[in-house]
Structure 1
Amino acid sequence: MTILGAEGFRYEVDGNDWGELPEGWTYREATAVAVNSKDEVYVFNRGGHPIIIFDSDGKFLDSWGEGAFGNPHGIAIGPDDSVYCADVSDNTIKKFTPDGKLLMKIGSESKPMSGKPFCRPCHVAIDGRSGDLYVADGYSNANVHKYSADGEFIESWGDSGTDPGSFNIVHNIDIDNEGYVYVADRENRRIQIFNDKGKFETQWVNLSRAAAVCVDKQEGGLVYVGEYFAGQASNEIGRHLGPRVTIFDKSGQVKARLSEEPAGTEAGRFYAPHGMAIDSNKNIYVAEVSVSEYAERGVEPPPYLRSMQKLTKIAG
């Protein structure tokens, strides 16, 4: 085991793919992860079994979603354990029961909309107070869209740019217990924070490519940010440029940075943190799109690429 972090924020990690997959199965690439009220872990992936469910110890429980998705990207779980999935290739947000029955679909399959919902949506978050949905419509649009719990459109905000309230790839999104919306503005390398009506509140910078954001919904909960490899040659040998997981308090103060090592697949390193979740014990689950990141850089990948990690919190 390798230990990451410092006092109060120490985690064990073994460097292997997490989760006991059935024989012959692979994730191919885990894009996102979510945890329900029972600490069951839902891994959204681009393999043959898009939704794979484990208990918190990694024991396989179930799978579903075969044939239901074009290009899995983001997953979130609501207060009632309903499962919401963002699919970037069919331009939809879909809501399922925990065992995979389709309940609702927002968007038009295979009909991307310029400036309107959706054009390659990346992620979705659920307001636990109202059930409202917030969609990060980020690869081809530059918007956050808000919907009611039953899928009725309410409002949108955002445009392309670098000013506060503008975006350059709205890649991930989450909501805290007070209704503040946290947006991973990936290529602007920041987290932007809005109220539930889209009013800009503040931003956190000093990040690499902020690809994932996960908010602890408990009172005084922390905010976890997954940062990509920054795509610069210096990052192959330099420290402090990602990839890593950074933990903030609600005021934006950095409490911990997990892994200051260069990108890699060894224990204690990351390559492409793309989605994150925490369980009731504050363990962190990290989905990495290492295959896509190697392809983007035009580099031959190593024979083994990890796609799911669990960072187990050490008490004290």
Structure 2
Amino acid sequence: MKTELRVALGGRLYGVERPWGALPSTPGRITDLAVDRDGLVHVLLRRDSAVDPDGPCVVTLAADGRFLRSWGEALCLDAHKIATMPVGGLAIVDRDAHRILFCDDEGRVQKQIGESHRPGQPFNHPSDIAFAPDGGFYVADGYGNGHIHRFDASGSLIASWGSLGTAPGAFLTPHGICVLSDGRVIVADRENSRVQSFSAEGACLAVWDAFLRPQDVIADAEDRIHVCDSIPTLSLLSPDGALLGRCRPVLNGAHGLWLGAAGDIFLAETNPNRITRLFPVAI
């Protein structure tokens, strides 16, 4: 008989469903996911383009986990993170091609930021992207630069900040990023095993260090911050960083996470290769 798992987070009880979703067999492995305004779950797959056979970059699932379609066979060299855009569509971080691709829901590229295969123009192995309330966005330029780049809604670069290091405001792989409703920017500084909070202009406001290699951060409608790390735990923080709850919903850790409209929490696991869904249950 299958045992139902339960975890608690921030005063709420969740059931744990793993694996979730009818994912087809592909050469790619799950690296991230994003839920759009229609409840569709877009699962990002990455593969080693030097040795792996061709396969889709994105698998789209219905809200109940049914397979709908897959696409993007020639889209990315090294798909790393994915995010929904405020105006609809998806932004995909193509890490080792040093670019961000902005696609419609069918996978057609509408825009690109960063020059393909040209590190430093401006990205050097970027890791994640997050959108601000004003339509602008921030890119965590995680593996080569140790920077955060701020862009306006048109895609023009406004400012960059950060450096490689361990001091407050510096990074050892800014790996995940999200933006709160007041414009504060939250960064999972993975190899420093901490999460940092910044103003919209890049001033370091706080450093929270009760994590082991945090992989991703995302905020809910109340600006509560969810952090998945490599302990593995899922932590819930207040907007000011106070710990509201902690649980262990996955086996070895999640590389990405996203929130569903019905209170679900989706976690993208790489080992084992699967999606885990947390769903609210009555206490």
Q: Does 1:66 align with 2:70?
A: no
- 2:277 matches 1:310: yes
Which residue identity lines up with residue 275 of structure 2 in the other structure? Answer: M
Per-residue Cα deviation, 1:188-247 (whole angstroms, up to 9, x for no partner): 11111111111111121111111110111x2x232110102xxxxxxxxxxxxx111111
Q: Give the TM-score normalised by structure 2.
A: 0.91
Is the counterpart of residue 274 in structure 1 residue 274 in structure 2?
Answer: no
Question: Which residue of 1 is the match for residue 204 of structure 2?
Answer: 200
Among 172, 179, 183, the residue aligned to 1:175: 179
Q: What residue in structure 1 maps to residue 238 of structure 2?
A: 249
Match of 1:41 in 2: 41
Aligned residue in 2 for 1:124: 129
Secondary structure of the residue that 1:145 maps to in structure 2? strand
Counterpart Cα distance in 2 of 1:165 and 1:272? 25
Residue type of the partner of 1:94?
L
Deviations 1:149-189 (A, max 9, x none): 22211110000111111101010111111111110000111
Deviation, 1:9, is: 2.4
Q: Counterparts of 1:164 and 1:149 in 2: how far apart (Å)?
A: 28
Q: How does 1:1-316 map to 2 (within 5 A)?
A: 1-5=4-8, 8-16=11-19, 18-22=20-24, 25-26=25-26, 28-46=28-46, 48-113=55-120, 117-127=122-132, 129-216=133-220, 218=221, 220-228=222-230, 242-259=231-248, 268-290=249-271, 305-316=272-283
Question: 5+ unaligned residues in a row in structure 1: which ranges?
Answer: 229-241, 260-267, 291-304
Residues 6/182 of structure 1: CA separation in 2 closer, same or farther (3 Å cut): closer
Alignment-mate amino acid for residue 229 of structure 2: E
Q: What is the rounded CA distance, in whole Å, between the counterparts of 2:37 and 2:252 in structure 1?
A: 29
Pick the structure with more strand per residue: 2
Q: Is the 8 A contact 1:37 1:79 kept in 2?
A: no
TM-score, normalised on structure 1? 0.82
- The C-alpha deviation readout for 1:24-76, integer Å capped at 9, x for no partner, is x2474211111111121111112622111112211112222111101110111
The aligned residue for residue 51 of structure 2 is none
Give the number of aligned pairs.
Answer: 273
C-alpha spacing 1:145/1:41, structure 2 compared with 1 (3 Å): same
2:128 and 2:176 in contact (8 A); partners too: yes
Structure 2: 5+ residue stretches without partners: 48-54
1:144 alignment partner AA: I
